[in-house]
Structure 1
């Protein structure tokens, strides 16, 4: 792809051979992909106007013409080039430019100047673009470009600050990807970026945040040198120094080496990167990350949901914390823009911050069990009054087995069983008629006697548990009087047992 040096070579070619000449004829190919909204108007906009000067920034080229009206802005795309008839064009390593035939192959725009000189813009793969603009410097895309690494290379201090602004804006990109960003350094393409990093001994995946002062200085120096040397050679790669990586990288990712050291290929910033692992190593250091402002520190974590009154409160608190983090990131990006950060850096930072916010919103803010409401144990008894009277009955019974019966009552689930009371806690060996006699002697009411009768009928063999009678009564409509009567029958039976023992003696 034509990069800054190749486009600069085209600029010099046109200026040297055609500057000051008037355009007599413009021949525009029928290709709406190349000519952006100007296929039908480009001819009239160019014919009759004199070429005053040729301008370039990054990979864009435009002509300054006399008179009023728009001027053409050209981007070379992947295979674009300018040819001057009888003179030639810029040399490309892997692109064959037809300079022998006229009009040349893949010609998209031909300009005929006074005196018979001709110029052609050719583009085989049709990724190039031609637009008409009033002032490219104040219009997009040129107005959005960063510094031009050939003609506008900043000082080391300004260059370091530019890197720091990208880092402070939240960028986590690798250095190769940053160099390819035209909003940072216009004119740097794939081969220039690889050459700079190779000569500066920096790994393509080196995080910008970890760039040390020595690495930044080396990269700044090599960008200056490579820009100057390539332009002085008129972008003729055959004139580049023999120790440049450029001469060894065009292998289609096949094994290669330079000075006996292996060249490897990785993908960084969606582009294939050639580098020498033995010389370009990842370095972990404080670097630019230590220059982050205080406002960029991580926001306090949201309070845990366990400390909130309920799950809804926890979600609201977590949402507030997430919004605060997003606001701080946006404020930081705005500050970076105010300091002069490139529009491309701001956009990349906003996208990264938005994604992070979305991920945080999708993550649970704290413990989410029951959304803040702990699982409650089932009630002792579905109907609270029944439980209260059962507890009173056990107190009257005044026995360990009666207390155990009350515990079983509290453990009953989902209302399938009612009050289970240990009414008859006597030994299974006691006569079945004992509870009935005891109830009679004790002057108990008819309900107690009926409860004792129920126990006799159900436990005629003496093998079943005596408390079954009380449980049966407890299941009948949940009546509290039956539970109390059963408990009373148990207490009466306990009082009768010693008397029978005395009679036996």
Structure 2
């Protein structure tokens, strides 16, 4: 699924080529040779009504045709068009699992989990095709029909935008004490919390969550409210580092740092027959966490053990179980007597107390330089192809 970096790259791509131009043609019937060729996809296009008509297709035409694109906004995985004409509603997009935007004559964005059709125009599974007065053509494609297109007059104050959490790129990420307060009552796994688009953050999907937790040295199954202060600090730093690096690379995974877990997480099938190793030799394993396939590096992502019953004690209300939550690594300490029952106490040491996670500004700069060099080579190639024979 395209996540925050991919959607931000699409936003910048569209705004750079189409902002300031007027839409002169709108096609809402599927094109490109898919199985629903010629049909209006009423799953991808949300049903809309203006009180006088329930014809969704005509209302999408009205919302887009002869409108001048002022700018493209994004929050989390949602992005939307704002138009220059007063009172014009916004048109909101979500890529779902396999959605993408393509512009005629431009290299398509590269996704690790699926490919965008570059052999035809419009591409296969094109749900919406827009032509602008500057000559650009924009296609919204979605093979699996899990993407969505919506009309919103006040996007910030209506769903889905109003329900989203903090955007890690453009929003104000809370500091450690504030984040600790936000998650103190959340006992679900930390990965589950990161994937939830409404509780704290938005825009983080499966690959970002895995990378963030690896960089922060946190096991994905760790309960959110079991994180130490140092663990919360590490999480915040890792979120900033991973998001900003991926965005600097324009979501082109070939420019992600070579030591990232990202490059190994697609090898689950291979892992059944051979070990998957990071460049530093650390083994990668795959487990299901929060209902999603999760890549984990056990040597650095240590799992806090669950609550265990250590004994019972007598109270006015009867016997009460004594519980303790241990973490790895732990050191057995002393014993104490509570009532007539002896319970083992443990001194808990969180590994984050000795680990410093930093935003690697030099890595982000290296990514930017490499990408700029790629873009220059690409431009030279395009100019060469366009030169007259």
Q: Give the TM-score taking structure 1 as reference length.
A: 0.55
Q: Partners of 1:140 and 1:128 in 2: how far apart? A: 16
* Residues 180-229 of structure 1, C-alpha deviations (whole Å, 9 max, x = no match): 11112110000000000111111011111210111111111111011111
Q: Does 1:140 align with 2:148?
A: no
The aligned counterpart of 2:42 is 32
**Structure 2 alignment gaps of length 5 or more:** 30-39, 48-55, 308-314, 320-389
Within-5 A mapping of 1:88-487: 88-157=107-176, 160-168=177-185, 171-183=186-198, 184-255=200-271, 256-258=276-278, 259-283=280-304
Q: Does 1:16 align with 2:34?
A: no
Q: Partners of 1:204 and 1:36 in 2: how far apart? A: 34
For residue 221 of structure 1, give the secondary structure of its aligned residue in structure 2: helix
Q: Give the TM-score taking structure 2 as reference length.
A: 0.70
CA apart distance, 1:284: 5.9
Contact 2:24 2:66 in 1 (8 A): yes
Q: Which runs of 4+ in 1 moved over 6 A?
A: 300-304
Q: Partners of 2:144 and 2:316 in 1: how far apart? A: 52
* Residues 392-440 of structure 1, C-alpha deviations (whole Å, 9 max, x = no match): xxxxxxxxxxxxxxxxxxxxxxxxxxxxxxxxxxxxxxxxxxxxxxxxx
CA apart distance, 1:253: 4.5
* Residues 336-387 of structure 1, C-alpha deviations (whole Å, 9 max, x = no match): xxxxxxxxxxxxxxxxxxxxxxxxxxxxxxxxxxxxxxxxxxxxxxxxxxxx
Contact 2:179 2:232 in 1 (8 A): no
Contact 1:13 1:89 in 2 (8 A): no
For residue 110 of structure 1, give the secondary structure of its aligned residue in structure 2: strand
Contact 2:187 2:226 in 1 (8 A): no
CA apart distance, 1:254: 3.5
Contact 2:286 2:294 in 1 (8 A): yes
The aligned counterpart of 2:102 is 83
What is the root-mean-square deviation of aligned Cα atoms in Å? 2.1
Q: Partners of 1:125 and 1:88 in 2: how far apart? A: 22
CA apart distance, 1:16: 0.6
Aligned pairs, number: 287
The structure with higher relative contact order (CA 8 Å, sep 6+) is 2
- CA distance 1:14–1:83, change in 2 (3 Å): same
Equivalent residue for 1:52, pick from 67, 70, 73: 70
Q: Compare 277-286 and 57-66 and name the one that shifted more.
A: 277-286
CA apart distance, 1:285: 11
**Structure 1 alignment gaps of length 5 or more:** 287-299, 305-505
The structure richer in strand per residue is: 2
